[in-house]
Amino acid sequence: MNEQLIIEIANKSFDESSFTDAEVLRFAILVAKQQREEDAKLVESMTIEWHDQPEFAQVERTTIQDCAKIIRQRAVTYD
Residue 51 forms part of a structural domain: yes
Average of per-residue pLDDT across 41-61:
89
Confidence at residue 24, expressed as pLDDT on a 0 to 100 scale:
81
Confidence at residue 20, expressed as pLDDT on a 0 to 100 scale:
82
Provide long-range contacts, Cβ within 8 A and 24+ apart, for 25-33.
25/78, 28/78, 29/76, 29/78, 32/76, 33/76
Average of per-residue pLDDT across 62-68:
96
Mean pLDDT, the chain, rounded, equals 85
Cα–Cα distance for residue pair 9/78, rounded to 1 Å: 14
- pTM confidence score: 0.72
Q: How many domains does the chain have?
A: 1
C-alpha atoms less than 13 angstroms from C-alpha of 38 in its C-beta half-sphere: 6
Residue 78 forms part of a structural domain: no
Residue 40 forms part of a structural domain: yes
Domain span including residue 56: 3-73
Cα–Cα distance for residue pair 50/56, rounded to 1 Å: 6
